[in-house]
């Protein structure tokens, strides 16, 4: 029997709307982000999906997204595990800066490298490689065992912490994963075999 793992990036946050580098800062969802999260829950329910456990970060935008999804699923009593290992990448000195201002100051190419290279960190922050170095051990130690126990798992997290997971799940290289954009509030449904190998995955339409 296939095992179920669903990943979902948080809905739009107040700092996403303001186009600010967010990282470990802790803004909440915008009204649009709340609606995106509810829509995700409805899409999962429409496919008859339900969960045995959920994992999320220690940041409000991901936890609020998860609670809204669970409300739509009628699973508000679900076991939830919160861990900073699933936090967004730390944007270091860029945190709080406007992304367009950063481009004007350092140039388009430099900001693109900081945002979408695999192993070049922003000043004082984490690269995607650094982020994966905390996300993947946590996934292998805490999440994969629940999948192997046939628990249906939901993970509500962030663009870069989820890229780290997707890289492992889909066997992608660092160069490949940085091209993958994750829309806010759009679930990705994975089916895995008994050995934990992905047999199919579907991005539920936004
Ligand atoms: O932390 C942030 O700024 C965003 O949530 C993700 O930003 P990015 O898409 O530039 O990595």
Model pLDDT, residue 30: 98
Is residue 70 scored above 80 in pLDDT? Answer: yes
Residue 23 near ligand 1, beta carbon < 6 Å: yes
pLDDT band at 131 (very low <50, low <70, confident <90, very high): very high
Is residue 1 scored above 80 in pLDDT? Answer: no
For ligand 1, the distance from its centroid to the CA atom of residue 159, given in whole angstroms, is 7
For ligand 1, the distance from its centroid to the CA atom of residue 171, given in whole angstroms, is 23
Kindly list the distances between the CA atom of residue 47 and the CA atoms of 40, 44, 124, 135, 176, in Å, as whole numbers in the listed order. Answer: 11, 5, 42, 28, 29
Kindly list the distances between the CA atom of residue 108 and the CA atoms of 100, 115, 157, in Å, as whole numbers in the listed order. Answer: 9, 11, 27
Residue 126 near ligand 1, beta carbon < 6 Å: no
The pLDDT of 179-188, averaged and rounded, is 96
> Does residue 147 contact residue 190 with C-beta atoms inside 8 Å?
no
- Domain 6-190's class? alpha beta
> Does residue 66 contact residue 56 with C-beta atoms inside 8 Å?
yes
Is residue 114 scored above 70 in pLDDT? Answer: yes
Model pLDDT, residue 138: 98
pLDDT band at 206 (very low <50, low <70, confident <90, very high): low
The pLDDT of 42-68, averaged and rounded, is 98
Residue 114 near ligand 1, beta carbon < 6 Å: no
Q: Check 36, 64, 72, 88 and give the catalytic one.
A: 88
- H or E stretch at 70: helix 60-73
Is residue 164 scored above 80 in pLDDT? Answer: yes
C-alpha closest to that of 99 among 85, 115, 79: 115
* Residue minimizing CA distance to atom 4 of ligand 1: 22
Instruction: Locate the domains of the chain by residue range.
Output: 6-190
Is residue 133 scored above 90 in pLDDT? Answer: yes
Model pLDDT, residue 195: 86
C-alpha closest to that of 165 among 188, 184, 185, 145: 188
Average pLDDT, the chain: 96
Model pLDDT, residue 205: 80
pLDDT band at 196 (very low <50, low <70, confident <90, very high): confident
């Amino acid at each position: 029997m296939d095992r179920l793992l669903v990943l979902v990036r948080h809905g739009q946050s107040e700092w996403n709307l303001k186009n600010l580098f967010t990282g470990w800062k802790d803004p909440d969802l915008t009204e649009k982000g709340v609606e995106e999260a509810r829509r995700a829950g409805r899409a999962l329910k429409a496919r008859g999906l339900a969960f045995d456990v959920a994992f999320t970060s220690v940041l409000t935008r991901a936890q609020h997204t998860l609670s809204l999804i669970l409300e739509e699923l009628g699973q508000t009593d679900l076991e939830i595990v919160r861990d900073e290992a699933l936090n967004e990448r730390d944007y270091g000195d860029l945190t709080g800066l406007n992304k367009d201002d950063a481009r004007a100051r350092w140039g388009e190419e430099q900001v693109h490298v900081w945002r979408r290279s695999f192993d070049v960190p922003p000043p004082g922050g984490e690269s995607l490689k650094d982020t994966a170095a905390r996300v993947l051990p946590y996934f292998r130690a805490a999440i994969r065992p629940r999948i192997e126990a046939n628990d249906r798992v939901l993970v509500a997290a962030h663009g870069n912490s989820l890229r780290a997971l997707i890289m492992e799940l889909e066997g992608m290289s660092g160069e490949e994963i940085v091209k993958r954009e994750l829309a806010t509030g759009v679930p990705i449904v994975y089916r895995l075999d008994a050995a934990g190998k992905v047999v199919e995955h579907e991005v539920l339409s936004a």
